[in-house]
């Protein structure tokens, strides 16, 4: 939602994982001087632009990382994010040259979605201020993202979708890869405690989450997402506590045992882990076994379609870059290997 292109989403999702986000806050370090990283046809891309782009994509989750880990994560992704912003500028120029139009209703909806995704403790005005925006400039940037997205979709519309015959052939030739493992989809509410928390604090947290459990049981599970947004200490609170789907071995043992033995829709007993106290609500279960063609048809479509779409965009952006004046600073260029000395 925060960036329609999401070229490097997987890398960032890994860096800003669940376990990192629920770690204790550390004291922030002084901000470094804004540094120029690249330019596209005279328009500069700076370290401030990188951080703003990350905030657009991940919202307040960026600030919930411990300070040292946040600095290291941003440093690690800066070269790739710079390349993404170079591509963004090229695409924006191309969209404007093609006189691509945005939809006012789509812009309004997107802004409402962004505001609605923020945790209750985060004010929209404070969120955009951290990015160096006021409401008008933030709306303008979101409008640009939509403009780029519309233009990209126009370019990708030329990519032909795989036929049913191609999909079926791929399924028959790769059946073993569609053997699913047991997994569940769940949400949770976390009241965080630290390993060193005193017994009084832990007792207060336990009483508070037991009260939430009683409230949810009375409501037969209704309103779980609302309570998660209001009370959960996990960054997933912004999504109503949604953790997505996960298999065995991906969560800490106590959490996993409770989640996999819980019935769909039930509010289980309070679960204690090293992170604190959890309430879990399972919304879906998938058993292990051979998945049928109809179940994986959409997945196969994406597998076959994605490389073609990616190649189309790579070629298109390469064409734009060949006609543009682009500079890159030494800060984002990989160090060149020193050639071995001749004997």
Nearest to 66 by CA among 229, 278, 246, 235: 235
Helical H runs in 176-223?
A: 199-218
pTM: 0.58
Place of tokens 């804004």: 34
Domain boundaries, given as residue ranges, for the chain? 1-174+300-343, 182-287
- Predicted local confidence at residue 70, as pLDDT: 84
CATH of region 1-174+300-343: 1.10.4030.10
**Placement of tokens 């506590």 in the chain:** 241
**Do the domains 1-174+300-343 and 182-287 sit in the same CATH topology, yes or no?**
no
Within 13 Å, how many C-alpha atoms sit on residue 14's CB side? 5
Residue 181: CB atoms within 10 Å: 11
> What does DSSP assign to residue 178?
G
Spacing of C-alpha 324 from chain mean position: 30
Query: Which class does domain 182-287 fall in?
Result: alpha beta
pLDDT digits (tens, 9 = 90+) for 59-91: 777 777 788 888 888 889 999 999 999 999 999
- Is 32 a residue whose pLDDT tops 70? no
Instruction: Report pLDDT digits (tens) over 147-185.
Output: 999 999 999 999 999 999 999 999 999 998 888 889 999
Task: Give the integer Cα–Cα distance in Å for 97 and 226.
Answer: 44
**71 Cβ contact partners less than 8 Å away, ≥ 6 residues apart:** 29
Distance CA 252, CA 257 (A): 9
Going along 179-320, which residue ranges are E strands? 179-180, 183-192, 242-247, 271-273, 276-286, 289-290
The string of pLDDT tens digits covering residues 301-332 is 999 999 999 999 999 999 999 999 999 998 88
pLDDT of residue 6: 38
């Amino acid at each position: 939602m925060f960036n329609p292109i999401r070229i490097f989403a997987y890398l960032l999702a890994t860096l800003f994982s669940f376990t990192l986000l629920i770690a204790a806050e550390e004291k922030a370090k002084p901000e470094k001087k804004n540094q120029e990283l690249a330019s596209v046809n005279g328009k500069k891309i700076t370290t401030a632009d990188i951080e703003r782009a990350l905030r657009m994509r991940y919202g307040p989750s960026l600030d919930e990382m411990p300070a040292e880990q946040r600095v290291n994560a941003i440093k690690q992704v800066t070269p790739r994010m710079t390349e993404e912003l170079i591509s963004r500028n090229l695409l924006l120029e191309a969209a404007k040259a093609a006189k691509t139009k945005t939809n006012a209703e789509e812009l309004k909806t997107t802004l409402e979605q962004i505001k609605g995704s923020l945790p209750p403790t985060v004010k929209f005005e404070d969120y955009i201020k951290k990015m160096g925006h006021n409401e008008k400039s933030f709306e303008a940037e979101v409008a640009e993202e939509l403009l780029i997205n519309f233009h990209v979709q126009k370019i990708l519309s030329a990519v032909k979708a795989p036929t049913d015959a191609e999909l079926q052939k791929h399924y028959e030739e790769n059946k073993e890869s569609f053997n699913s493992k047991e997994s569940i989809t769940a949400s949770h509410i976390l009241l965080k405690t630290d390993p060193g928390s005193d017994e009084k604090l832990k007792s207060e947290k336990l009483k508070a989450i037991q009260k939430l459990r009683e409230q949810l049981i009375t409501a037969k599970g209704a309103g779980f997402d609302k309570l998660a947004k209001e009370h959960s200490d996990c960054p997933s609170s912004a999504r109503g506590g949604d953790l997505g789907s996960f298999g065995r071995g991906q969560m800490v043992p106590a959490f996993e045992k409770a989640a996999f033995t819980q019935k769909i829709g039930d509010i289980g007993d309070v679960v204690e882990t090293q992170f604190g106290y959890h309430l879990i609500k399972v919304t879906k279960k998938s058993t292990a076994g051979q998945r049928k063609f109809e179940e994986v048809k959409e997945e196969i479509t994406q597998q076959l379609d994605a490389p073609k779409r990616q190649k189309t965009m790579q070629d298109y952006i390469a064409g734009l870059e060949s006609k543009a004046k682009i500079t890159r600073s030494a800060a984002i260029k990989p160090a060149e290997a020193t050639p071995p000395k001749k004997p």
